[in-house]
A and B are shown apart, each in its own frame.
Chain A
Amino acid sequence: DVKVTQSSRYLVKRTGEKVFLECVQDMDHENMFWYRQDPGLGLRLIYFSYDVKMKEKGDIPEGYSVSREKKERFSLILESASTNQTSMYLCASRNQQWARQGEQYFGPGTRLTVT
């Protein structure tokens, strides 16, 4: 079974702090994704990565950056956390070979609260 893990289930940070969210997958997937989930808005793509050191902006990249130095790990960085970044953050991975028809595998999510 594919396993996607996220470093924290719950995180509380202060406004202005730099925040790191880590995601690790164990199935050698090339593609990795970061979403935020807010009630009534569904899932919105922040960034995705085709492969190591490759990244592309999603629909809402402002205020975020990412790092993919190793294939199994995809990090989301909030450079200066703000209260409007309070949300559930979901990481996912996928096999690039099946990019169009392949399903994603999601981590359990990190619920981030910025105070």
Chain B
Amino acid sequence: AQSVAQPEDQVNVAEGNPLTVKCTYSVSGNPYLFWYVQYPNRGLQFLLKYITGDNLVKGSYGFEAEFNKSQTSFHLKKPSALVSDSALYFCAVSTPKGGSYIPTFGRGTSLIVHP
């Protein structure tokens, strides 16, 4: 079965410091991986995805993610955190189901950026 794991319920970082939100995956075959962000009282917004090619994927709001096949990881990163980055972050993997593909989401990681 395809799955993703987000090992940290919460990540705390000071504004201006680099941030990392971790995600590991378990799939058969090539993974299609996604990151989404949810700001308070809002729906999810797509940040970035890995399909194939370059292991470093750049996305919205200055975020990037590094795909590491040997470690089966897809960690989300940003060089310099902003207070406004405080939100809930979800990793997802595309999972085959009923002739189509359905995203399987991790449980989410709450990122708190302190001023």
Which residues of A pack against B, CB within 8 Å?
4, 31, 33, 40-43, 45, 48, 50, 56, 58, 90, 92, 96, 99-101, 103-109
* Contacts between the two chains (Cβ within 8 Å), count: 55
Q: Chain B binding site: helix, strand, loop or mixed by DSSP?
A: strand
Alpha-carbon distance between A41 and B43 when the two chains are bound, in angstroms: 16
Question: How far apart are B24's CB and chain A's nearest CB, in angstroms?
Answer: 15
CB-defined interface of B75-115 with A at 8 Å, one 1/0 digit per residue? 00000000000000010001001111111011110000000
Total count of chain B residues near the partner, CB < 8 A:
25
Residue of A nearest to B105 (CB): A43
Question: How far apart are B49's CB and chain A's nearest CB, in angstroms?
Answer: 6
Q: Which residues of A contact B101 (CB under 8 A)?
A: 99-100
B100 & A45 in contact (Cβ 8 Å cutoff) = no
